[in-house]
Structure 1
Amino acid sequence: MKAKCVRFHKFGEPQHVLQVEDRNVQSPGTGEVLVRMIARPINPSDLIPIKGAYSHRIGLPTIPGYEGVGIVEEVGPSVSKSLIGTRVLPLRGEGTWQEFVKTSAELAVPIPDFINNATAAQLYINPITAWLTCTEVLGLQPGDDVLVNACGSSIGRIFAQLSAVLRFRLIAVTRSEAYTEDLIRLGASHVINTSNTSLYPAVMEITHGRGVKAAIDSIGGSAGIDAAYCVRPNGSLLSIGLLSGIPINWSKIIENTQVNVRMFHLRHWNEQASAQIWQATFRRVIELIHNKQLKLMAPSLQFDLSDVTKAVQAAESHENTGKILLTSKMYTEG
């Protein structure tokens, strides 16, 4: 069987190097499932590798896409046929920007009926990263002061909601007043708009001169440095992204600030998490959604998989108004 996929054969700007191609779909092997994809979001973490940031560990040609939702079409030997027709997240297998994805059955995450396709497609990168950083990596406790930059983003809004769940005090950092009301409503204690307010004095005033216990940086560059200087001595700066594309000399920051700098990469957690822990972590996030303690942003636009060039152009130019989805013809909101 042949099906559509998106591939890149060289690194470069996504709108220039991504190609829609046909590929042969192989039947699932032992312990695997074949999933017919419904929808996949476009994340910065999908686009950055296409540009060549991690070229040392990416073999070409390759199919991008780390998350998405689909329906089990076929199961391999040793896998229960009862899975056929169920909705799952086919993660940690092949790239999701294709019509069919193979993955390990024990890693396929079942999606309950109360979660729609648009939400299900986004359940991995941002929610799992936010949950793990708050609970496992930083071990945040009620009353802890935590600074998060780029907080108008999809993951920033998740951190705001988790601050209400875990009862830490979130200082949300943005570059626009447009996000303030929403972030306060979602759970943030304070919002600092750095387009009109200096970050360090504002944080020192909020924390009575102590600084924050932890800062979570998604940006790098000058914004990451500014966040580090807001952390109290022996506190933690956790880097989870590099939206600016500008790396930081963290050893120099450690020397100047006495801050513990750590990096979080979801793929490293994946490598050491058992299938049981993997599934349990998703069940916890799904429980938060069921209890209405967590709500993901609705997608702002959707494009058919074959229109990937237009989709990535939209993803790189739009504001934080929701993810761009790459969908298949069967896509529905429900």
Structure 2
Amino acid sequence: MEGKCVTYEKFGSPEQVLRIEHKSIRRPGIGELLVRMTSRPINPSDLIPVGGAYAHRIGLPAIPGYEGVGIVEETGPTVSRNWLGKRVLPLRGEGTWQQFVNAPAELAVLLPDTLDDDTASQLYINPVTAWVTCTEVLQLKPDDVVVVNACGSSIGRIYTQLSRILGFRLVAVTRSRSHTAELLEHGAVAVIQTDDPLNPLLHSTVMQLTNGVGANAAIDSVGGASGMALAYSARPGGKLLSIGLLSGKPLQAAEIAQKTGAKLMLFHLRHWNKQVSAETWQRTFRQLMSFIGSGQLRLCAPSARFDLSDVKEAVRAAQSTEKGNGKIFLTG
């Protein structure tokens, strides 16, 4: 049996190097599930490796994709056949941008019937990152003040909703005024709209909220000047957590240490994955699904869908600044 897949044999612009191929479907091995994929969102984290950012740890040819939802078609030796026909997130196995994925059964997340595919398929990268950084890395407490940039993004919206769930006070920084009402509705105590990272409004707002002390923590997805502005809004001894570099520009660690007093920290989801037990892994997803089920957490609806064969067009849409708030999905 063969299945369609997206692959790349060299690093470069996704629009140029991604291509459609057909590959033989490998039967699941010991402890594995074979899952027929139905839907996958396109994340920046899916595309960054294609460009070569992690060339030192990616073997070519490679199949992209970290998230997605599908149906169990076959079980490997030692795996219960009760999995057959179940709807799951087949995570941390093969790349998800293919029709069939082999994934470890102990890490596959079984989905309740009440959770739709669009929401379920987005449950990993952003929600887990946000939950773990808030609860385990920063260990945020009620009334802590936290500044988050790129808050109009998918993960920014999740942080805002977690502020209401966990009780910390979130100052949202966004480039677009169109997000303000939604972010305040989700739980932000203040929204700062600025294209200028050096805008003094950020610092003054944080100081006003903290009686001149500064934020307990800041979460940076952008890097560069935007991330540095967050460092100056943190109190001495406060934490600046870097979870991404959307600008492509690194933070100046020496300046942060010498001039701001903030403690710079880095978070990579893959590092958490390596040290977390399967039990804690599954418990984390159950917790997030409970928030969604209770209406406390909402993920964005897709802005467009493309067949897997139209991956280049889908990538162009995902990278376009004109796309809507939701993610682009690959189906089929």
**Match for residue 227 of structure 1?**
230
Shift of 1:251: 2.9
Residues 153-302 of structure 1 mapped to structure 2, 5 A cutoff = 153-195=153-195, 198=200, 199-302=202-305
8 Å Cα contact 1:153-1:320 kept in structure 2: no
**Match for residue 25 of structure 1?**
25
**Match for residue 39 of structure 2?**
39
Residues 44-193 of structure 1 mapped to structure 2, 5 A cutoff = 44-193=44-193
CA distance in 1, matches of 2:168, 2:244: 22
Residue 152 of structure 1 aligns with an amino acid whose one-letter code is G
CA distance in 1, matches of 2:255, 2:171: 25
8 Å Cα contact 2:303-2:325 kept in structure 1: yes
CA distance in 1, matches of 2:254, 2:64: 32
CA distance in 2, matches of 1:176, 1:149: 12
Partner-residue secondary structure (3-state), 2:11 = coil
8 Å Cα contact 1:146-1:170 kept in structure 2: yes
Shift of 1:249: 2.5
CA distance in 2, matches of 1:9, 1:131: 34
Partner-residue secondary structure (3-state), 1:106 = helix
TM-score by length of 2: 0.97
CA distance in 2, matches of 1:177, 1:207: 24
8 Å Cα contact 2:31-2:77 kept in structure 1: yes
Partner-residue secondary structure (3-state), 1:200 = helix
CA distance in 1, matches of 2:138, 2:310: 40
Residue 98 of structure 2 aligns with an amino acid whose one-letter code is Q
Shift of 1:223: 0.4
8 Å Cα contact 2:220-2:230 kept in structure 1: yes
8 Å Cα contact 2:228-2:252 kept in structure 1: no
Shift of 1:141: 0.6
CA distance in 1, matches of 2:315, 2:131: 27
Shift of 1:84: 0.4
TM-score by length of 1: 0.96
**Match for residue 326 of structure 2?**
322
Shift of 1:287: 0.7
Shift of 1:201: 2.4
Unaligned runs of 5+ in 2: none
Shift of 1:200: 1.8
CA distance in 1, matches of 2:112, 2:85: 13
CA distance in 2, matches of 1:106, 1:195: 44
**Match for residue 313 of structure 1?**
316
Residue 100 of structure 2 aligns with an amino acid whose one-letter code is F
Shift of 1:320: 5.3
Please identify runs of 4+ aligned residues in structure 1 that moved more than 4 A.
none
Question: Identity rate of aligned residues, in percent?
Answer: 60
Shift of 1:307: 0.3
CA distance in 1, matches of 2:62, 2:149: 32
CA distance in 1, matches of 2:17, 2:250: 25
With over 3 angstroms needed to count, the CA separation of the structure-2 counterparts of 1:214 and 1:325, relative to structure 1, is same
CA distance in 1, matches of 2:212, 2:193: 19
Partner-residue secondary structure (3-state), 2:192 = strand
Alignment size in residue pairs:
328
8 Å Cα contact 1:33-1:104 kept in structure 2: yes
Post-superposition Cα deviations, 1:135-164, rounded to whole Å, max 9, x if no partner, equal: 000000110000000000011110111000
8 Å Cα contact 1:152-1:320 kept in structure 2: no
Shift of 1:237: 0.3
Partner-residue secondary structure (3-state), 1:229 = helix
CA distance in 1, matches of 2:47, 2:245: 12
**Match for residue 331 of structure 1?**
none
Shift of 1:207: 2.4
Shift of 1:106: 0.5
Post-superposition Cα deviations, 1:156-201, rounded to whole Å, max 9, x if no partner, equal: 1101110000010000000111000000001111101123853222
